[in-house]
Chain A
Amino acid sequence: MQQLTVVRLARSLAGIALVAVTLASCGRSASSQEQSKATPPRVESTATRDACSLLEPKEVEAVLGASLATPPFLSRDGLPTYDGSACQYEDANLHNITIDVEWDGGATVFKMSGALQSLVNQTAAKGLVHLAEGADVAGEWDEARVIGCCSFVALRGDQMVTVDVGGSKAPMAAAATLADMAIKRLDHVLAIRGLPNVKAAMAFESAHRPKRIDPCALVSRAEAEAIVGKLEGEPTPNDDRCVYQHVIEGAFGPTYVVKVRWTGGFSDFRLQNDVSATFTKGFTKNMPIASDRKEAFESALTGRELANPAWDVANFSITGLSAVKKDVSVSIEPQGGSREDTIKLMEKAMSKF
């Protein structure tokens, strides 16, 4: 999930030189290894190091708000894989929550993730106490940090747990609760393993995750013309984008740009909303907003969703309409187009999943 990017980047940076950054900071420290003495490494079977061994499925179901469609499985980037480090919990609509564990070296990764985050947002790096809901949280962890919209990172000793609720509608407080449960089990893991469930998860994904298709097939030319009127020509595909150019009496009219993300749609939706809200909050401060854009700005600020049975979740931001169904996110930028036509185009696209 994208929310884990900072953590993953931190992992890859551990042990190598970082870019030149100046942190205005200081701290006291034990001066050298003389302060601590090495002891024989703890003997621990790597066979027990399965991220799925820290949470009961029912505990995650309570947060997810639905039953799991398949037993928890090892994953990477939101998809089942035999060498995944994360454990994924997924419901029938592909809403998901993941947990990832640094079994060793967690303190370094935690430190690096904070340093990297501070490059982006110093306030966020320091604001780990306050969750989005405004609650202070404490748990069995030594330190904890919120990364992005949806990841809760907790450090205990040299082990680190990351709970990512971006693929669900669960609040950050729920992620903290799950992290606390997981942290408490690091020394005595459950007899649950994700590796044996990967095969079943792959089968489930194959049967239920929408297949990647030509993005222009989501709304055909005929379907688009029925909504917006005559197009200049065939819709133009470009990777996971499709452009619909409307013409009015021989002149170019509004353009609709459809973008598709085939995996991690729920997570991407929450992340984009979070970024959009932060940006909009800063951008619109003390600035008058045109009346026809007011709803979009307010929607971006509040993350207000646009209810419609055609999708699981959607909202209008200042750049257009974004909607998600079965973990596929579609965004439509109505460049000069109407809100109503944009919604109709989205309904048509979503009907294909």
Chain B
Amino acid sequence: MDTNVGRTAACWLTALGALLVPRTAVPAGAPEPVPLVKGLVFTTTAHAGLTTSAGSVPVADTEAVYSVVGTGDERIMFRFSVSAPADSSAGKLLDQVPHSFDREVRREDLRAAARLTVFWNSTDPPLLPGQTFATTSSTVLQTLRDTGRIAFILGVNEPEKGLESVSALLPFLGVSRHYYRGTLERVGASEPFSVLLDGRRTTVPAVHVRGTLTFSDRTITPQIWWLDDASNPLTLKWIVGSVYETVTRIDRPLTGTGSATTVADGLTGRSCRAELSGVYFTTASAQVLDASMPALERFAALMNQHPNWQITVEGHTDNIGSAPYNMDLSSRRADAVRDVLIRRFAVPAAKLQSHGYGLTRPVETNATDEGRAHNRRVEVSRQCNS
């Protein structure tokens, strides 16, 4: 897939980092649970049109961070932000409008709704009853398991025919959401889907479906991959025509000290280094997103347990954009993470260094969305003689 159309710089809203990360793929075994609970964060890469009040881009590569920020008896609350490289056309558009939003989904829709909107609008209400967001429902997944097919409704944003003149004047009014109806059919058995799970390259089981859906006189033939987990059938990927969105990274909320221990294992092991998962930035900026705070707080606690450690925070990028640009960006982000650890979590400044490595140290191929997502990361390294 050509994911680099229109990109002139690193697509940097990243889930950087990772808890210690064995750099080899974990073979598929018993599926690891990905519960839809507060603190779950997943990031996506999308290749789709972008329209704002300031203009539109026919095709743009954007990234989004989705966080589960609340779980109530009746609703699940998501927050997501979308970004693109600041010097790209999409990035310039996003810079002029709000690009972080809240969405809610009713639990009864998580149980039974067979309607999903994969494109979003900032003007959408927070809750659209009768729909799911970012997942499908348990009923849909179970029906696909049982029968291999399901009547489904897919909400898709499209340019509005006959409103070309409106689009020229007010781009956002030239796009409408169309709800396509039809039947989705399962494609084969459960498929392995590659993703960074808590910073580890692994595969999760996915239910792959496709079908022909219609709206008025139009048809589409979408494909969707859902996590094969009835408790959280997360939308892992969708394709409509040549546009798509795919999950590249999932960071589960940590319970206990397991993940912190993994970081500790990395720092005390032979490599003396580990990735920090769950650190997110806005595009082409050194602003650390709030969703990063739990991961950084845990790392600060780990450092407090080891007062003799001297740590270097390292920034790494993918290969999109020039080397000097990526070097500068990675340095600024490493600085920003160090700054948060010092100012917010009271890690002594003398114990922390920061360094940017830009695109020079990839851990996976830069030829795929998934690989680039992993290459955009924050690592921490320890001076092993300390």
**Do B159 and A26 touch (CB < 8 A)?**
no
- In the complex the two chains form, what is the Cα distance from A41 to B218 in whole Å? 9
Q: Is B172 an interface residue (CB 8 A)?
A: yes
The one of A15, A36, A108 in contact with B219, judged by C-beta atoms closer than 8 angstroms, is A36
- Asked if B51 is at the interface (CB within 8 A of a chain A CB), the reply is yes
Residue of B nearest to A31 (CB): B49
Q: Within 8 Å CB of B179, what residues of A?
A: 107, 142-143, 155-157
**Interface segment, B141-149, B237-245, B262-270, B358-366?**
B237-245
Q: Mark B101-120, 1 if CB is under 8 A from A, else 0.
A: 00000100100000100011
**Which of chain B's residues have a CB closer than 8 A to the CB of A143?**
128, 177, 179
Q: Which of A15, A24, A144, A156 contacts B98 (CB 8 A)?
A: A24
| In the complex, residue of chain A having the shortest beta-carbon distance to the beta carbon of B57 | A31
Find out whether the CB atom of B123 lies under 8 angstroms from the CB atom of A25: yes
**Contact between B214 and A27, CB atoms less than 8 A apart:** no
Bound Cα distance A346, B127 (Å): 45
Residues of B within 8 A of A37 (CB): 218-220
CB nearest neighbor in B for A35 = B241
Chain A residue numbers with a CB within 8 Å of B163 are 14-15, 108
Interchain CB contact under 8 A, A32 and B130: no
Q: How far is the CA of A82 from the CA of B46 in the complex (A)?
A: 51
Q: How far is the CA of A138 from the CA of B125 in the complex (A)?
A: 14
Contact of A141 among B120, B127, B130 (CB under 8 A): B130
- The answer on a CB contact under 8 Å between A27 and B106 is no
User: Who on chain A is nearest to B214 by CB?
Assistant: A39
> Once the chains bind, are A34 and B50 in contact (CB under 8 Å)?
no
Q: Is the CB of B53 within 8 A of A23?
A: yes
Which of A16, A30, A42 gathers most chain B CB within 10 Å? A30
Residue contact B241 to A28, C-beta cutoff 8 Å: no
- Chain B residues 120 to 175 lying within 8 A of chain A, measured CB to CB, are 120-131, 153, 155-163, 165-166, 169-170, 172-173, 175
Query: What is the bound-complex CA distance between A36 and B109, given in angstroms?
Result: 27
- Are B218 and A29 in touch, CB under 8 angstroms? no
Residues of A in contact (CB 8 Å), total 53
Does B373 reach chain A (CB closer than 8 Å)? no
Residues in B neighbouring A251, C-beta threshold 8 A: none
B286 proximal to A (CB < 8 A): no
Q: Are A157 and B181 in contact (CB under 8 A)?
A: yes
Determine the distance from Cα of A128 to Cα of B126 in the docked complex, in whole angstroms. 10
Closest chain-B Cβ to A35's Cβ sits at a distance in Å of 4
The answer, yes or no, to whether B290 is at the interface (CB within 8 Å) is no
A125-137, CB under 8 A of B: which get 1 and which 0? 1111100000011
Q: Is the CB of B52 within 8 A of A28?
A: no
Segment among A55-63, A111-119, A321-329 that sits at the interface with chain B: A111-119
Tell me if B11 counts as interface (CB < 8 A to partner A): no
Give A35-53 interface residues, CB cut-off 8 Å to B.
Answer: 35-42
Among A89-124, those with CB < 8 Å from B are 104, 107-108, 111-112, 114-115, 118
Number of contacting residues on B, CB 8 A? 67
B94 touches A137 (CB 8 A): no
Is residue B93 within 8 Å, beta carbon to beta carbon, of the partner chain? Answer: yes
**Cβ of A207 under 8 Å from chain B:** no
Using Cβ atoms and an 8 Å threshold, which residues of chain A touch B162?
14-15, 108
Most buried by B among A28, A125, A127: A28
Instruction: Point out the residues of chain A lying under 8 angstroms from B122, CB to CB.
Output: 24-27
| Distance between Cα atoms of A42 and B243 in the complex (Å) | 27
Q: A115 near B59 (CB under 8 angstroms)? A: no
Contacts of A14 in B (CB 8 A): 162-163
Question: Contact between B157 and A115 (Cβ–Cβ < 8 Å)?
Answer: no
A146 to B127, CA, bound (A): 14
A21 contacts partner chain B, Cβ-Cβ < 8 Å: yes
B176 and A17 form a contact (CB under 8 A): no
Contact B243 A16 (CB under 8 A): no
The answer to whether B241 and A36 have CB atoms under 8 Å apart is yes
Contact A23 B129 (CB under 8 A): no
Q: How far is the CA of A36 from the CA of B172 in the complex (A)?
A: 19
Q: Does B215 sit within 8 A of A, measured CB to CB? A: yes
A33 on the interface (CB 8 Å rule)? yes
Measured between beta carbons, the chain A residues less than 8 angstroms from B123 are 23, 25, 27, 114-115, 118, 125-126
Evaluate contact between A28 and B219: CB separation under 8 angstroms.
Answer: no
A17, A21, A35, A127: the one within 8 Å of B158 (CB): A35
State which of A34, A41, A142, A156 has its C-beta within 8 Å of the C-beta of B242: A34
Given A30-B240, A128-B125, A143-B128; 6 other pairs, CB 8 A cutoff: A23-B170, A26-B52, A31-B242, A35-B156, A112-B173, A126-B123
A-B contact pairs, 5 of them (CB 8 A): A16-B165, A23-B53, A26-B94, A118-B123, A125-B123
Which 9 residue pairs are nearest across A and B when measured between Cβ atoms?
A138-B129, A35-B241, A31-B49, A29-B157, A26-B52, A27-B121, A36-B218, A142-B179, A29-B49
